Chain A
Amino acid sequence: MEGYKAVFANSDLFNGFINSVKYTVIGTLYSVITVYITAYPLSRKDLPGRKWISIFFIITMYFGGGLIPTYLVVRDTGLLNNMWALFLPGGVGMGNVIIVRNFFENNIPKELMEAAEIDGADNFTVFLKVVVPLSRSIMAVIVVFSMVAFWNDWFTALIYLQKEQYPFPLVLRGILITTEAMSNMTGGLGYAEANRLTELVKFASMIVAAAPMLIIYPFVQKYFEQGFMTGAVKG
């Protein structure tokens, strides 16, 4: 317990924890919303130009500008040291879009959507009242995938953000790997005592970093296979 107290008493680690929670919540919302508003139109076979729009998005799965050109665009759009640099450069999660699109195509009865249209519902209403409620299982999978990705992400933050904005894993790096951050915590303690506390904090902070995702994923585990299969049908 002493280790955990030390973790949250340390302002860097505590800050990192709060940052990570914030990035995970906002990032997950961002990614689920963008995936849904991309996947729904692309799942509609009656949409003129659907094929070309799909190609436009799928190209980004195979080609990219690479680290530096992307960095320069992020910088030129004023996102350095801005939280949105963690979300926007990733674009739309195309792997997730394909999984969700195929789910819409195969698991939501066309008749239901058409019946709603005849009752006067426009496309927005069909999307919000029929498609979204009927796709809860796949949404759960996307939510968990996004949460894990944002909770564990540190490289994007290393490139685009400054120290006070670092998420928990990046603060952890200071403790586990470069071991620079520990000195300000153990200052004033004897050597043996400092050593013991360092070890405690290491273990405690690793558990704080790993536990949330390990607790969450078993809840959606049964949908994994299904998601992967619907996703694999058409690449």
Chain B
Amino acid sequence: MSNPVPAANAAATAKKSQKHGKTLGKRIAENWQLYLLLVIPVVITLIYKYIPMYGVQIAFRDYKPARGFFGSKWVGWEWFERFFTAPNFKRMIVNTIKLSVFSLLWSFPVPIILSLAINQMRFKRYKRVVQTVMYAPHFISIMVVCGMIRIFLSPYGGLINLLIGQQIDFMTVPEAFRTIYIASGIWQDAGWGTIIYLATLSAVDPGLYEAAKIDGASMFQRILNIDVPELIPMIILQLIMAASGIMSVGFEKVFLLQTQLNRVTSDVIAVYVYEQGIVDHAYSYSTAIGLFNTVINIILLIVVNQIAKKAADVSFV
């Protein structure tokens, strides 16, 4: 630090009164270095975020590389119609919705229950160790997680098959796909999900617990009457965020867990977008499907946000 602090307060007041009368132009000129810092982030964001947003219009064009984003022929709703009449359209929509709704229902409550339990731990050391262990899976690559899943479920000496004394190749069983996806998702992210709830719970006044104890409240009553009400606004906030993403199933894990034989349940929109666009180079068609997905997500976000606003007076957006 190159500067002494003592003079700071007096100086700050002097500076404020001096600043007051300055024109906008002068204030901009004074801060040119701050604008200079922003130049690189703004340029990167313009090129790689805003141009693609504008380029979404190829969903309504017949994109040809030689003609570029804006020179290609206008075809209106053709790609959307093709998607709606595609042979697997219904299956993909149903799979996408089922996978994320079930995923949400099963995984959403877990971090809440875990954080309520961790919050009751009185030995700080032990609590920290528990947290460290529970956060760990979040830092493991999804590739390794999917490798582990395949090894555990392998028909040749995989743990699960040894336990049940069978030789089932679960990766080829369509009925097993959702369970595998959701269970491994909970294993990987439930612990990490407790952070936000634990941070909220740390704001609870410890005196409240003492008072409740003196009044004879059991541990369960303390959790129900002190902790849960404290968490409600955060729970609703998290629910809004999760609900608005219903149509955006995590592509990576589905892609890695998909086999030719479990496609009946594992075919989702995101994988189709990838296959059509990157593998088959059907750029316009793939963009149209992606856009369809995004629009539904935005509608969901707005609807859920409105409901939450009315129901609990919390708003996220």
Contact = CB atoms under 8 A, between A and B. Distances in A.
Interface of A, secondary structure class, is: helix
Given A38-B41, A40-B37, A155-B252, A217 B287 contact: no
B41 A92 contact: yes
B154 to A, nearest CB: 10
Interface in A41-85: 41, 44, 46-49, 53, 56-57, 60, 62-74, 76-77
Given A41-B37, A114-B8, A176-B150, A151 B69 contact: no
A44 B37 CA distance: 13
Most buried by A among B49, B144, B291: B49
Interface stretch (B84-92, B130-138, B210-218): B130-138
Contact of B19 (A46, A90, A225): A46
A144 to B, nearest CB: 9
Interface residues of B, number: 78
Contacts of B299: none
B27 A48 contact: yes
A60 B49 contact: yes
Contacts, number: 227
B291 A66 contact: yes
A192 interface: no
- SS class of chain B's interface: helix, strand, loop or mixed? helix
Interface stretch (A5-13, A98-106, A181-189, A205-213): A205-213
Nearest to B196: A228
A171 to B, nearest CB: 10
Contacts of B69: 69, 72
Given A67-B286, A130-B1, A210-B141, A176 B15 contact: no
Nearest to A79: B48
Contacts of A232: 196, 199
A159 interface: yes
Nearest to A129: B2
Given A40-B34, A221-B131, A228 B199 contact: yes
Interface stretch (B51-59, B93-101, B102-110): B51-59
B150 A91 contact: no
B173 interface: no
Interface of B: 1-5, 7-9, 11-12, 15, 19, 24, 27-28, 31, 33-35, 37-38, 40-42, 44-45, 47-56, 58, 63, 68-69, 128, 131-132, 135-136, 139-144, 146-148, 150-151, 195-196, 198-199, 202, 251-252, 255-256, 273-274, 277-278, 283, 286-287, 290-291, 294, 298, 301, 316
9 contacts: A38-B41, A66-B290, A68-B277, A70-B48, A91-B44, A169-B143, A170-B143, A209-B144, A225-B202
